[in-house]
Amino acid sequence: RDWSSDVCSSDLEDLVRYMARHRHHGPFEHVGLTFEVKIPMPQAVHFLRHRTGKFNQISARYTELPSEVYLPSRREIVSTSKTRKQGRDEENSRGVSEEWQAEQLAIMQEATTVAMSAYRKLLDNGVAPELARLVVPQGIYTVLVCTFDLRNLMHLISLRTAKDAQAETRAYADMLRMLAEQLFPVAAPALAKYTVDSIRLTRKQFVYLRKMGGKSLSETGLYSFSDGEESPAELMEFLA
């Protein structure tokens, strides 16, 4: 049945936005898309973690892997973060010298060249592809065919575009969002508004914001507030 014949277009758009705003997500699970993506192996692993999707991956047992390997540009090579348990220290990346970056990139390039040369040599020597693939570098590209409903795709995008997500993964998630919003110009932006572009507050965080009322955090006296559930440090992270 063509439900659109019962209501005007603007009413349908309002209904879609209402459902997104009030987290009536069921209808969004009946809308989906299938896409093929060429992606470095670490980013493929990030995608495969989302068990609500359906995936097929090119098999290195039956297909010879391409020679294309992802390496960051020199400017993207930075040191490990000193404040986070994982990730790069993007905030202090300006203090890294170009010479140091070039040295690290050269190490990566050499290791990648040696690994891919070994892979090709093993294949030429008649070694089974499922064994020869064990030496390929981590940055090698693979191909995924993915199917997601719109709700769970936006959940993937919301996690993989977060500020603490790996930069390369964020780039792929940003492209997925663009694709979804082109295919579903009403539903995707509505859902993204209340998932990707929103934050969820606890009741206590909401109270904090009301107390602030435009004041700075130091003026509210909330620095010293803690009842064992949410520390001032957690509040600072929330307001960052």
In the residue annotation, 160 being an active-site residue is answered as: yes
According to DSSP, the β-strands at 54-57 and 32-40 are unpaired
Cα–Cα distance, 67 to 64 (Å, whole number): 9
CB distance 78 to 93 below 8 Å: yes
Catalytic residue among 160, 170, 177, 200: 160
Asked if residue 167 lies in contact with residue 76, where contact means CB atoms within 8 angstroms, the answer is yes
Catalytic residues: 160
